[in-house]
Structure 1
Amino acid sequence: MSANVRDTVTPDGRRFERMLRELGSLQVRVGFQQGGATEDDGTDICDIAMWNELGTEHAPARPFLRMSVDENEDKIKNFLKSKKADIVGGASAEQVLKEIGIFQKDLIQEKITNGSFVPNSAYTIAKKGSSKPLIDTGRMRQSVNYVIKEKGSGD
């Protein structure tokens, strides 16, 4: 190859490079955001989700967040492969991250609704009138969300 030959990046190539830089600077956070929702008594839904996920002195762990990932590994991998194709096809970084957020949000909500967890105690069933673990008012399930943030934003 001659030393005088110089390749130039096409407009599509420059657009793709910008999109990759943008994608590299952002992250999607899926789950519960502190202060995003509360129960009627003022208890933050983020705290309720943590107590359910990890368990407390009086309640067993019902790890719906971890299970939503662990039990859907192949589904998640296939979905992310399709997003890779979308990126190559010209989708914006923000659009791809939104789709990832919605996808994982749906997996978490499905696990809350249909997961196999330690049953509620007789006391809890009598108190809330239901034997369904993780579902009382439905507010926790409805509060699952995602946010797109700059990487390293710390909040």
Structure 2
Amino acid sequence: MKVDRLKEVLQSINGLVQKEVLVGIPDSAPERKDDEPIGNAAIGYIQETGSPVNNLPPRPFLVPGVAAAEGKVSPQLQKAVESALDGDLDGAERRMGAAGLTAQNSVRARINSGIDPALKESTLADRRRRGRTGTVPLIDTGQLRNAITYVIRKRK
């Protein structure tokens, strides 16, 4: 006995191609007032690209962190496609989530490993004044690193 699952498979494939996995720092408040502190998304962008005006060198962590995970993420995305071809959209989404988590962890590991250039002595002195002893760039309170996450959303 054969079962026609074409409609289910097509719906699953359609559901998959309408989704994407994004890794980064969500911006919960894109519009801020001048007297408010900037959020982690803005801080992440400044750290990734640098700010010559503020004498901050670029310390790329997001793009290289995601790129470093490509070898582990690609097979998971391939399995997502295979799940969709089997008509299993939930399984495809689980695989996409696994890919997102892998990339998220890779970015966090990139930050933990320390990114050149090293912190200036004035920055280290400022940290010591505040009771912090860490010397790893991009890690002071850990909020930036912990803000890195992934989302699965409908393509725009």
Please classify the TM superposition score into its range, dividing by the shorter chain length: 0.7 to 0.9
Inter-CA distance 117–127: structure 2 relative to 1 (3 Å threshold): same
| Counterpart residue number, 2:140 | 136
Q: Kindly provide the amino acid, as one letter, of the partner of residue 128 in structure 1.
A: R
* 1:29 alignment partner, SS class: strand
Q: CA RMSD in A?
A: 2.5
Q: CA deviation at 1:63?
A: 0.5
| Counterpart residue number, 2:102 | 103
Moved more, 95-104 or 132-141: 95-104
| Counterpart residue number, 1:66 | 63
Q: CA deviation at 1:71?
A: 3.2
Structure having the higher Rg: 1
Q: What CA deviation, in whole Å up to 9, does each residue of 1:34-57 have, x standing for no partner?
A: 127xxxx73200011011100112
| Counterpart residue number, 1:147 | 151
| Counterpart residue number, 2:74 | 77
> Within 2, Cα distance between the matches of 1:73 and 1:94?
18
Unaligned runs of 5+ in 2: 30-35, 129-133
Moved more, 104-113 or 84-93: 84-93
Inter-CA distance 82–26: structure 2 relative to 1 (3 Å threshold): closer
Q: What CA deviation, in whole Å up to 9, does each residue of 1:45-87 have, x standing for no partner?
A: 0011011100112111110011113334333334433444444
> Within 1, Cα distance between the matches of 2:124 and 2:18?
46
Q: What CA deviation, in whole Å up to 9, does each residue of 1:97-140 have, x standing for no partner?
A: 22222121111111111144210010111112332101000001
Count residues in correspondence.
141
Q: Name segments (4+ residues, structure 1) moved above 6 Å.
A: none
> Within 1, Cα distance between the matches of 2:79 and 2:136?
35
> Within 2, Cα distance between the matches of 1:86 and 1:142?
31
Q: Kindly provide the amino acid, as one letter, of the partner of residue 4 in structure 2.
A: T
**Is the 1:83–1:96 Cα contact (8 Å) retained in structure 2?**
yes
**Is the 2:79–2:95 Cα contact (8 Å) retained in structure 1?**
no
> Within 1, Cα distance between the matches of 2:83 and 2:150?
20
Unaligned runs of 5+ in 1: 1-7
1:19 equivalent in alignment to 2:12:
yes
